[in-house]
């Protein structure tokens, strides 16, 4: 089994986390911390979504016999429906 080596050393414990939290409150203020956390979460979600799309594309490139996942089929169907409505309006 492969041993995972932390990138920045050991994970901070309880007291270290309290000091980090105190510094964050002093730097950003109590009102901005929820906004920062929300935007960080959204960015992580977008990153994860992009990573999954790239992994899916790589799998399709390496093994063309693999059928597309359900999400890709629904996304393709939605874009076809949108294209059809655009052409019917013209």
Q: DSSP letters along the chain, please?
A: -PPP--SSSSPP-HHHHHHHHHHHHHHH-TTHHHHHHHHHHHHHHHHHHHHHHHHHHHHHHH-TTSPPPHHHHHHHHHHHHHHHHHHHH-
The total number of structural domains that make up the chain: 1
pLDDT tens for the chain, 90 residues: list them. 677 676 666 777 888 888 988 898 888 888 888 888 899 999 999 999 999 999 999 988 887 665 555 545 545 554 545 555 555 444
Q: Is residue 18 part of a domain?
A: no
Six-digit token string for 80:
């076809």
Q: Is residue 38 part of a domain?
A: yes
Six-digit token string for 1:
């089994």
Contact yes or no for 61/53 (Cβ under 8 A): no
Q: Is the pTM of this model over 0.85?
A: no
Q: Is residue 86 part of a domain?
A: no
Contact yes or no for 28/36 (Cβ under 8 A): yes
């Amino acid at each position: 089994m492969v041993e995972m080596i932390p990138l920045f050393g050991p994970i901070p414990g309880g007291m270290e986390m309290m000091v980090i939290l105190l510094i964050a409150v002093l730097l950003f203020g109590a009102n901005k911390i929820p906004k920062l956390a929300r935007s960080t979460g959204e960015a992580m979600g977008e990153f994860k979504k992009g990573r999954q799309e790239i992994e899916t594309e790589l799998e399709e490139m390496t093994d063309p016999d693999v059928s597309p996942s359900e999400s890709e089929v629904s996304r393709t169907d939605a874009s076809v429906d949108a294209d059809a409505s655009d052409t019917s309006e013209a």
